[in-house]
Amino acid sequence: MSQCDFFIEDKDFENIVSFFLERSCSLVPDLDYEEPKLKTFKSLDEITETRKTKMCALFFVIHDEWLEMPLNFSEIKKDGRTVYFIPQRDGGPSIHLFSPLEYKNANRAFLPHGFLGLYKSYWNYKTETFVENPEKIKAAYKVALKFMKTNSKRIRTRKRAYFVCQNALRRTSSTLFLGAPFDELTQPHLKD
């Protein structure tokens, strides 16, 4: 998967979701579904509420111009009941927006890193073959990455690069710590 790692604070999440919605995209939450019927959101309020109330960190971004087949469901038994979920890459294609919520530890707020990602192909479950993504989704992914990187600060570890989005960056100077791979003692120097 082509992926770029970001520290995405709540307001940053709203900004990237708004970016996608303004371009007529829909977002599908990665949830346990009671029936194999997609919940497709086109409203910022629905998406942010689902993220917080359902603790949903992963969303599939879809658009009619690049969606070649519906996202597919698989079924599993969980806690004695049947639930349905959307396997990544199964149908689509879709852009993956992963944005975990911040958490508290020892009265401090920590923000895990998320990502914006795109697999190079998707699984066509009808022909049972991998299909290369259309150019339109590749172009949309590049534009979304550029948007997210604007006003973000790039930080590096020995092995990876991360981007701290604008609002997360603002809060790291006072109330927010970055999560893994950083800890309380190894917070990167984020001010220029």
Considering only 21-25, 123-127, 130-134, 188-192, which range has the smallest mean pLDDT? 188-192
In a domain, 28, yes or no: yes
Rounded to two decimals, what is the model's pTM? 0.92
Q: Each residue of 169-181: pLDDT tens digit?
A: 999 877 888 988 8
In a domain, 134, yes or no: yes
DSSP per residue over 58-86, as a string?
Answer: EEEEE-TTT--BPPP-EEEEETTEEEEE-
Q: Which two tokens stand for residue 73?
A: 């469901």
Q: Higher pLDDT residue, 185 or 172?
A: 172
In a domain, 184, yes or no: no
In a domain, 141, yes or no: yes
In a domain, 189, yes or no: no
Structurally, how many domains does the chain consist of? 1
In a domain, 57, yes or no: yes
Residue 10's domain comprises 2-178
CB atoms inside a 10 Å sphere around CB 152: 21
In a domain, 186, yes or no: no
In a domain, 192, yes or no: no
